[in-house]
């Protein structure tokens, strides 16, 4: 009987330590950005459509992440600028419809990642990128009774490195701050 109890406890521990897959909730995920406007103001905007998956193994301190953002969903809060940004002069969203980040979760502290290290593909160009995870928390979803994780993620890119140099000759700075508030629900 004692052996059976030990085996059951061990099995429960192994079941708890298995990696889990989470689907990003597009209704609770908010990819946003800040970009210079000739050094006189900061333009802010967001993307309205995103998707992705996270594989997380808290016990082992590892995981992977893939996030896709639909570029034609850009929203500066100004229709004319939104229309321009998806044209060939900038994103060329018909040719390059998505920005994609693929990477691994890293820097675990107390079961939570502090970074995602991988590659960002934007406008047909792939570059290394490190996302800083400023906050990360998982809780039981009150209605769906599955684990829900959320994070606040930051990074800065140089948009001209991705072939997006519009405005550079007019003095626009090329750095763009990205911030993504993301929530993902554990798959059943």
Residue 11 lies in a domain: no
pTM: 0.87
- The total domain count for the chain is 1
* Distance separating alpha carbons of residues 139 and 149, to the nearest angstrom: 6
CA distance 89 to 170: 15
- Would you state the structure tokens that stand for residue 114, as one six-digit string? 């502090």
Written as six digits, the tokens of 111 are: 């079961």
| Cα 65 to Cα 187: distance, rounded to the nearest angstrom | 15
**Does a structural domain hold residue 10?**
no
**Residue 37 counted as domain residue:** yes
What residue numbers bound the domain in which 166 lies? 19-186
Can you give the pLDDT of all 188 residues of the chain as single tens digits?
555 443 434 444 444 558 999 999 999 999 999 999 988 999 999 999 999 999 999 999 999 999 999 999 999 999 999 999 999 999 999 999 999 999 999 999 998 999 999 999 999 999 999 999 999 999 999 999 999 999 999 999 999 999 999 999 999 999 999 999 999 999 98
Assess if residue 25 is contained within a domain.
yes
CATH number for the domain harbouring residue 67: 2.40.128.110
């Amino acid at each position: 009987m004692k052996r059976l109890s030990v085996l059951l406890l061990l099995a429960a521990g192994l079941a708890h330590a298995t990696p889990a897959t989470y689907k990003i909730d597009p209704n609770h995920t908010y990819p946003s950005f800040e970009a210079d406007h000739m050094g006189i103001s900061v333009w802010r905007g967001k993307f309205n459509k995103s998707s992705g998956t996270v594989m997380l193994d808290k016990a082992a301190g590892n995981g992977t992440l893939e996030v896709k953002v639909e570029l034609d969903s850009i929203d500066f809060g100004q229709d004319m600028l939104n229309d321009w940004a998806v044209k060939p002069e900038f994103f060329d969203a018909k040719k390059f419809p998505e920005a994609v980040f693929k990477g691994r979760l890293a820097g675990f502290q107390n079961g939570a990642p502090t970074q995602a290290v991988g590659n960002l593909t934007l406008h047909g160009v792939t570059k290394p990128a490190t996302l800083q995870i400023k906050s990360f928390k998982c809780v039981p979803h009150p209605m769906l009774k599955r684990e829900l994780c959320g994070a606040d993620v930051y990074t800065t890119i140089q948009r001209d490195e991705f072939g997006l140099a519009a405005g550079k000759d007019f003095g626009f700075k090329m750095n763009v701050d990205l911030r993504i508030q993301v929530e993902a629900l554990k798959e059943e």
